[in-house]
Amino acid sequence: HAKARRSFSYKNVCALGEELPKDSKLRIGVKKRADDCARKAKNGDRLSMHYTGTLFSDCSEFDSSRTRDPFSFTLGNGEVIQGWDQGLRGMCVGEQRKLTIPSDLGYGDSGSGDKIPGGSTLVFDVELIDIQDASKKKKKRSPKKKKKAKKAEI
């Protein structure tokens, strides 16, 4: 007998009281691909994102940027949880993803504030609004020193 396959939908990912094992792998679902992808996000880039964060266990929303300005940070610098640093690489402007982040790649056993208990699996619906290229953020070089003119041989 063939085993029945279950289809997986990223629309409503709630486990009603359950969490993923804390050492589970990050789950990345692409909800909407970008129409045009001139470049992909890489470590060192400054990203502007819109997001909505919910708990995997009950789908309760704990935060959203949708009513505020987009959230900006530098990818790969540890400014955000590991699940974001890993799950947003390779993303294009206009792309939308759903990240399901086990607690080891989120806030761990300590949680965060009153809305994210320790050990929580997090679900983020994210949209990349803008990428500021890492090369544009490099420090300006100091002006080159003028070389002393060689003394004319007499």
Q: What is the pLDDT along the chain (154 residues), one digit of tens a residue?
A: 444 444 444 445 576 778 999 899 999 999 999 989 989 999 999 999 999 999 999 999 999 999 999 999 999 999 999 999 999 999 999 999 999 999 999 999 999 999 999 999 999 999 999 999 766 544 444 444 444 555 555 5
Residue 108, Cβ density class (10 Å: 0-12 exposed, 13-18 middle, ≥19 buried): middle
Closest among 78, 56, 53 to 66, alpha carbons compared: 53
**Residue of 32, 105, 38, 45 whose CA lies nearest to 75:** 45
Q: Give the CA dihedral 90, 92, 93, 99, nearest 10 degrees.
A: -60
Determine the Cα–Cα distance for residues 61 and 124; give it in Å rounded to an integer.
Answer: 10
Copy the structure tokens of residue 123.
């679900």
The DSSP symbol for 29 reads E
Q: What is the pTM of this model?
A: 0.78
Q: How far is CA 62 from CA 4, 104, 117, in A?
A: 35, 18, 11
pLDDT computed for residue 152 by the predictor = 53
Q: Cα-Cα-Cα-Cα dihedral of 91, 92, 95, 98, to 10°?
A: 10
